[in-house]
Structure 1
Amino acid sequence: MASPGRRCFLFLQGPTNLLFAKVADRLRARGHEVHRIHVCVGDRIFWRGPGVTEYRGTLADWPAFIADFYDRHGVTEVVLLGEKRDHNKVAIVAGHAKGIRITVTDFGYFRPDWVVVERDGLNGDSHFPRDPEAILQQARGLPPIDRRVRYPHRAVTQAAWDMTFHLSSAVMRRSFPHFRRHSLNHPVVNYLATGWRLARGPIESRRAARVVQAVKRSGPYCIFAMQMEDDYSLRAYSPYPDLDAAMDEALRSFAANAPAHAHLVFKLHPLDPGLKRWRHRIARLAAKHGVAGRAHFIDGGDLDALIAGSHGLVTINSTAGLRSLELRCPTFAMGQTIYRVPGLAFDGTLDDFWMKAPAPDPALVEASLRLMAATLHVRGSFYDAAGIEAAAEGMAYRLHHGRVNQPLAAVLRGEIPRD
């Protein structure tokens, strides 16, 4: 493959690991110029290499700063994680105005060892086609996905590195006095609460099993796949300010339109910190809508097994929706998401979903999954040493060769694309 010309890459906020630093090393080795802007101490910790600028100004002054930085350094491409974070949002708008390419990364739409590398944004901002015929045509000839896990997700490593990032940024505020975190709750509070919740895991899992058994004996059921409220995609790509509002809407619709003997099971996200008393909140909302005996909360259980026995899954825009489609389960997305496509997620109203939703089109599901994997991902993991190296190699290849949002069959085979 012919080598593209020399370009100038700017790395903004990234994941809490050295992935961006390793991608930058590979781009420099290919002859490109690389810059990095730090907006907090955590950024500084997870970077190695030259070309660093530290921004200590206010968010109000950031638009003029970033526009000037683009011009002074001749930036041609920007790489970032979290397209809806305050500094990144401004940088994207300024970049588009100057014809600069924006590449966004995050955890993959598939789990555990896939990393998104996508143009401009994810979910509602994704350029993935929403036309079924276009998906089928573009996926034609792509090989099956090799889903064998090559790189584990190490939750303990994630917790340690997240804490390092956030604690350092909080304790050393004087270095970046105007920086404000993007998360709703302080990470220390989140992790302490999550630790307590996980310690209760065996108890909650047994309780969840009893609830599911009772529900299955009582009649048909649907699932509401809950998301973490700290997940920015919940607020950025949906009309709901929080999870409570979405659950209230789902229960209102369920009470008015679902079969009288049907049940709705709310499944907690595995990494939810448990700061809200979800069981009590759901019970209160169920009573409000007159379905007190038909709405249930579980913390634990096997999602695949739960989906296999259900009549449908509702979510805001969780990746659990993709898994539901893969298992041929009727699925409804209340927010904007990559799989809100006719023939995949139900394209009618939520009120109609409970009675009228068909199973997704199997051919379209398979084509969509292959196309998503081939065009929007590299293999790797944020919190595993070998997984970071693999993701860095794959990202650098896509960036160097201009193959972001372009199909790479090697990714489907579980391989690392190389020059």
Structure 2
Amino acid sequence: MSPHDLPADRRSFLFLQGPPGPLFHRLAAVLRERDVTVHRINICGGDRADWPDKAVDFRQRFTDWPVFVDRFLRQEKITDILLFGDCRPFHVVARRIASMRGIRTHVLEEGYLRPHWMTFELEGVNAHSRLQREKNWFLEQARGLPDDDALPPVTASFRRRARDATRHYTAVHMGALAYPHYRTHRSVLPVVEGLGWIWKYAVGRARERAAERVVADLSRKRFFLLPLQLSGDYQIRSHSPFPTMPAAADYVLESFAAHAPPDAHLLVKTHPLDCSFFNWKGFVRRRARKLGIADRVHYADGGDLEELAAETAGMICVNSTSATLALQVDTPVCVLGEAIYKVPGLVFDGHVDDFWIDPPPPEPGLYEAFRRVLLRECLIRGGLASESAVTTLVASMTEKLLERAPRREGSPANQSSTLAKCAAHEGGLKDAMRSSCA
């Protein structure tokens, strides 16, 4: 019998790192009420703060992690792993080791469709998702699937996310002696990020007013939209050809300067959660001036992305979920990286140099089919930014985890081979080890 086909009371879950906050701990309590065995490995002080119950602490070097986690899987007869984010170095190793033993991994991530939804897939998300990227497959799978019912909105509060994150990363810092070899996967120190948020809020009203003026000036112009992403996001680091978001923006500006018609404009919009001290406004202005397009390139640190997505002549993005806002209103989209929605016919199937003249919209009905399949296959209701959102998410995850999922195709060896193909995106297991032990 496959471990996937075991009844609930014989399933044994290993929880690794979750999002900052109480989600994983509360989910574990519900699963235990259903007679499911739950184990936890803490990797840092933040994990311990989010998990007040008994757990195993990993305090060794990252190079010891593969043997440690494999031994734990074997000794505790683990059938399922649960984690948040599939590209963190510890998680990359764990899911590959688990795959060799035929143990499945459930990956939670921010939702492909936002707000109100979270992504919850087997084995991987984003570019690692097992969903096909072929339009006929989506159209076939969507036949007979209902549209999502009108559901009440999932409430969200930035204050709640900030509170959970502050508590978690303070505990990471305070627990440095207890976990001496831990190195965070984040590219920016939490204290620097906190200072960035203070500054962002201090100048918030001025930023919004400036953005409103820029958007108003573009109201009668044909403009393209480049929504920026966070350089530290694994969507950039692992699933794109660019080392940083400035490199991606530079690439788009070069293409726009060389190939866009003279009456076209480009709006570069900051990510709403970008609290870095990188001077995007100065960067965009300098590059545009050097390329001779300063009068046609604009920058906004604010504005309603949903409205802009409906008004733009086309959106260019690396792999941001912002693209779904454009696709749902039939706005053409060009994707530079790997993305779940990079389906020919849904997005532009060509090079960005050829996108500026007359970009085609999504094929009729394809986005609706894509959305219905996502809702069935890999999205669950809930969120992280309010008490009601977490409660909804716990219920959604519990239902999904206790479903009798079909047996994965192929032997454990074949599954390992499939995951190994992701090494090019993740920099490989050895690179991950080196970067985390540096």
Tell me the TM-score range normalised by the shorter chain.
Answer: over 0.9
1:31 and 2:71 equivalent? no
Question: How many residue pairs are counted as aligned between the two chains?
Answer: 403
Question: What's 2:179 paired with?
Answer: 176
Q: Tell me: CA distance 1:308–1:100, structure 2 relative to 1, closer, same or farther (3 Å).
A: same
Question: What's 1:156 paired with?
Answer: 159
Question: What's 2:188 paired with?
Answer: 185
The answer (yes or no) to whether the contact 2:9–2:34 under 8 Å persists in 1 is no
Deviations 1:342-369 (A, max 9, x none): 1111111111111242001230100111
> Equivalent residues in 2 for 1:314-329 (5 A)?
314-329=316-331
The CA deviation at 1:385 is 1.1
- Separation of aligned partners in 1, 2:212 and 2:26: 43
Question: What's 2:428 paired with?
Answer: none
Paired letter, 2:125: L
The DSSP-based 3-state class of the residue aligned with 1:355 is: coil
- Separation of aligned partners in 1, 2:406 and 2:204: 40
> Equivalent residues in 2 for 1:63-74 (5 A)?
63-74=66-77
The CA deviation at 1:159 is 0.9
- Separation of aligned partners in 2, 1:160 and 1:9: 28
1:336 and 2:351 equivalent? no
> Equivalent residues in 2 for 1:94-133 (5 A)?
94-133=97-136
Q: Tell me: CA distance 1:13–1:26, structure 2 relative to 1, closer, same or farther (3 Å).
A: same
Q: Tell me: CA distance 1:404–1:284, structure 2 relative to 1, closer, same or farther (3 Å).
A: farther
The CA deviation at 1:110 is 1.8
- Separation of aligned partners in 1, 2:310 and 2:219: 12
Q: Tell me: CA distance 1:402–1:238, structure 2 relative to 1, closer, same or farther (3 Å).
A: farther
Question: What's 1:12 paired with?
Answer: 16
Measured on the aligned residues, the alpha-carbon RMSD in Å equals 1.8
The DSSP-based 3-state class of the residue aligned with 1:26 is: helix
The answer (yes or no) to whether the contact 1:235–1:241 under 8 Å persists in 2 is yes
The answer (yes or no) to whether the contact 1:45–1:165 under 8 Å persists in 2 is yes
> Equivalent residues in 2 for 1:177-326 (5 A)?
177-217=180-220, 219-326=221-328
Deviations 1:204-244 (A, max 9, x none): 22211211222233x31000011122222221111111011
Greater mean alpha carbon deviation, residues 60-69 or residues 23-32: 23-32
1:44 and 2:55 equivalent? no
- Separation of aligned partners in 1, 2:150 and 2:226: 25
The answer (yes or no) to whether the contact 2:8–2:35 under 8 Å persists in 1 is no
The DSSP-based 3-state class of the residue aligned with 1:401 is: coil
- Separation of aligned partners in 1, 2:150 and 2:315: 23
Deviations 1:107-136 (A, max 9, x none): 211222211111111111011221111111
The answer (yes or no) to whether the contact 1:118–1:404 under 8 Å persists in 2 is no
The answer (yes or no) to whether the contact 2:108–2:121 under 8 Å persists in 1 is yes
The CA deviation at 1:100 is 0.8
The CA deviation at 1:5 is 6.1
Unaligned runs of 5+ in 1: 407-419
